[in-house]
């Protein structure tokens, strides 16, 4: 997996919103990379900056929000350096976004199939027959009764079917990067498992990358191979999913796992306190007010992401104390 070609490299991506209380950094020096066929889960509480990161990658941040710095390298080109016409082409051809409410994705007065074919034709200039074949194929890949869904109007489908149809539409353009933003969150557990199953299967069959955004750790664990944990606009921990979930290095990741019924073997502990006010961040670590392990330095200096020998990265001053000499991570 590690030797596979990198499709996306994001470096120090920063997106700000001017507010009446000052400028807030909703995405603060976000960095990660993804390789072909991989799925990176971006997880964190509500308001952490997940959707802003997704919209920044597509350069669709709603004004007055704006990207103030960084790089988004897709196939050796920096998307932040492209003109708007070129960016529109990349958005259709190489990037796709599926979000929580697919009802607004589709035109309510057109059958799903016609809508998908039109989208394919806008970007690919295929015959109607060819577009239909692709649409039906992707719907079948998503486990949908393709012929029936093709003729259905959006309101005639259940939430789970519509969400899979939205994924089929996104996949029909063969994007290099698919971003799903809480795309399975509104579904019940069984439907969610079904959608994740088809998404994972599809991911393995082709060479795209998926950025799977969710606040649901169980959904992330079902589909991703790597994970990045975002808190107050910054990535505070990242690494292989198993490593991060089994041996979290950052107290926030630990708390997040401890608050989730699927991962916590003992008593569920809700995370104490609430996320900081982004307009009023102190100089130190943004998790400091909720961290039971914080010491003096945590109040004064914001920790940066550092590499641990496990292939993990975490932004925590405690990390230095956690990594023992033989390269193992000491788990308390
Ligand atoms: N349109 C906006 N105007 C001002 N601030 C915004 C806007 N959109 C997002 N933000 C700020 O960015 C933060 C991150 O939002 P978002 O990325 O939507 O969080 P989530 O992780 O829940 O997807 C929010 O807490 C909010 O302060
Ligand atoms: Mg969101």
- For the chain, give the number of residues: 332
CATH 3.40.605.10 fits 6-94+175-322, yes or no: no
Q: Are 211 and 51 in contact (CB under 8 A)?
A: no
Neighbours of 34 (CB within 10 A): 24
C-alpha span between 330 and 65 (Å, rounded) = 41
Ligand 1 in reach of 62 Cβ (< 6 A): yes
Note residues around ion ligand 2 (Cβ under 5 angstroms): 50-51
Longest CA–CA separation in the chain, Å: 66
Calculate Rg over the CA atoms of the chain: 21
| pLDDT value of residue 41 | 97
Phi, psi values for residue 155, rounded to 5° = -70, -15
Ligand 1 in reach of 65 Cβ (< 6 A): yes
| pLDDT value of residue 130 | 94
Ligand 1 in reach of 51 Cβ (< 6 A): yes
Task: Take atom 7 of ligand 1 and give the residue whose Cα is closest.
Answer: 17
Axis-axis angle for helices 189-205, 128-141 (nearest 10): 120
Q: Is 6 exposed, middle or buried (0-12, 13-18, 19+ CB in 10 A)?
A: middle
**How do residues 111-129 score in pLDDT, each as one tens digit?**
999 999 999 998 888 888 9
Interstrand relation of 313-314 and 234-240 (parallel, antiparallel or unpaired): antiparallel
| pLDDT value of residue 323 | 47
Ligand 1 in reach of 248 Cβ (< 6 A): no
**How do residues 139-168 score in pLDDT, each as one tens digit?**
998 889 999 999 999 999 988 899 999 999
For the record, the structure tokens of 196 come out as 């994740």
C-alpha span between 106 and 155 (Å, rounded) = 10
Interstrand relation of 177-181 and 209-214 (parallel, antiparallel or unpaired): parallel
Helix or strand or coil: residue 281? coil
| pLDDT value of residue 330 | 43
Residue spans of the chain under pLDDT 50: 1-2, 323-332
| pLDDT value of residue 291 | 95
C-alpha span between 36 and 21 (Å, rounded) = 41
Of ligand 1's atoms, which has the minimum distance to the CA of residue 44? 21
Task: Take atom 6 of ligand 1 and give the residue whose Cα is closest.
Answer: 17
Count helices and strands (H / E) in the chain.
Answer: 12, 12
| pLDDT value of residue 262 | 76
| pLDDT value of residue 325 | 41
Nearest ligand to the C-alpha atom of residue 274: 1
Task: Take atom 24 of ligand 1 and give the residue whose Cα is closest.
Answer: 47
Neighbours of 163 (CB within 10 A): 29
Task: Take atom 8 of ligand 1 and give the residue whose Cα is closest.
Answer: 52
Ligand 1 in reach of 49 Cβ (< 6 A): yes
C-alpha span between 229 and 249 (Å, rounded) = 11
C-alpha span between 220 and 126 (Å, rounded) = 35
What does the domain layout of the chain look like in residue ranges?
A: 6-94+175-322
């Amino acid at each position: 997996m590690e030797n596979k070609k990198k499709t996306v490299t994001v470096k120090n991506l920063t997106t700000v919103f001017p507010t009446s209380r000052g400028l807030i950094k909703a995405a603060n020096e976000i960095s990660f990379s993804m390789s072909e066929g991989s799925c990176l889960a971006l997880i964190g509480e509500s308001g952490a900056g997940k959707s802003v990161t997704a919209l920044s990658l597509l350069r669709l941040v709603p004004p007055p929000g704006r990207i103030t710095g960084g790089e988004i390298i897709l196939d050796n080109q920096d998307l932040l350096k492209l003109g708007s016409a070129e960016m529109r082409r990349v958005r259709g051809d190489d990037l796709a976004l599926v979000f929580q409410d697919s009802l607004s994705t589709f035109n309510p007065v057109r059958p799903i199939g016609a809508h998908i074919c039109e989208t394919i034709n806008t970007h690919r200039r295929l015959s109607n027959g060819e577009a239909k074949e692709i649409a039906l194929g992707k719907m079948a890949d998503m486990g949908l009764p393709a012929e029936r869904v093709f003729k259905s109007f959006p309101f005639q489908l259940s939430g789970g079917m519509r969400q899979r149809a939205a994924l089929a539409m996104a996949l029909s353009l063969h994007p290099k990067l698919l971003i799903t933003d809480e795309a399975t969150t509104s579904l019940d557990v069984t439907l969610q498992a079904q959608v994740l199953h088809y998404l994972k299967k599809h991911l393995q069959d082709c060479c795209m990358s998926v950025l799977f955004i969710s606040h649901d750790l169980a959904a992330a664990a079902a589909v991703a191979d790597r994970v990045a944990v975002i808190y107050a606009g910054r990535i505070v921990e990242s690494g292989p999913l198993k490593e991060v979930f089994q041996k979290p290095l950052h107290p926030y990741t630990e708390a997040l796992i401890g608050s989730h019924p699927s991962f916590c073997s003992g008593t569920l502990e809700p995370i104490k306190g609430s996320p900081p006010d982004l307009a009023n961040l102190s100089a130190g670590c943004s998790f400091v007010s909720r961290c039971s392990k914080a010491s003096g330095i945590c109040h004064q200096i914001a920790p940066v992401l550092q590499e641990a020998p496990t292939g993990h990265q975490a932004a925590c001053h405690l990390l230095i104390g956690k990594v023992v000499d033989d390269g193992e991570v000491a788990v308390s």
